[in-house]
């Protein structure tokens, strides 16, 4: 009597398994998925910044943590926290590590 129903029917899907309607993924869906995760930010200059995405705004200004700066693929420096001005950003890619 006291046993509950198996909850595998009612349980909300995990964030990652979220059903995306029509297999579309808008920029804001993407950003929700990568917030707090390791990302690679490529600037128009070709410089890459790898770190954890702390937050960003509508201009694509970005705050990152544990950031590594790569110029021509070579590690050039590290920053604890850093702010990147959005106009320089070419793309943000999710980084698996």
Residues 39-58 that bind other proteins (CB under 8 A): 42-46, 49, 54-57
CB-wise, 46 or 75, nearer to other proteins? 46
Q: Which three-class secondary structure string do you get for the chain?
A: CCCCCCCCCCCCCCHHHCCCHHHCCCHHHHHHHHCCCEEEEEECCCCEEEEEEEEECCCCCEEEEEEEEEECCEEEEEEEEEEECHHHEEEEEECCC
CB-wise, 13 or 80, nearer to other proteins? 80
| Interface residue list for other proteins (CB under 8 A) | 22-31, 34, 42-46, 49, 54-57, 60-63, 67, 72, 79-96
């Amino acid at each position: 009597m006291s046993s509950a129903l198996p909850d595998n029917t009612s349980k909300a899907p995990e964030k990652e398994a979220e059903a995306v309607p029509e297999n579309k993924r808008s920029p804001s869906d993407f950003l929700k998925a990568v917030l707090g995760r390791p990302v690679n930010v490529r600037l128009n200059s070709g410089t890459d910044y790898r770190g954890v995405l702390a937050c960003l705004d509508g201009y694509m200004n970005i705050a990152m943590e544990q950031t590594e700066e790569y110029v021509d693929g070579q590690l050039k420096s590290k920053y604890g926290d850093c702010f990147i001005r959005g106009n320089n950003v070419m793309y943000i890619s999710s980084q698996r590590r």
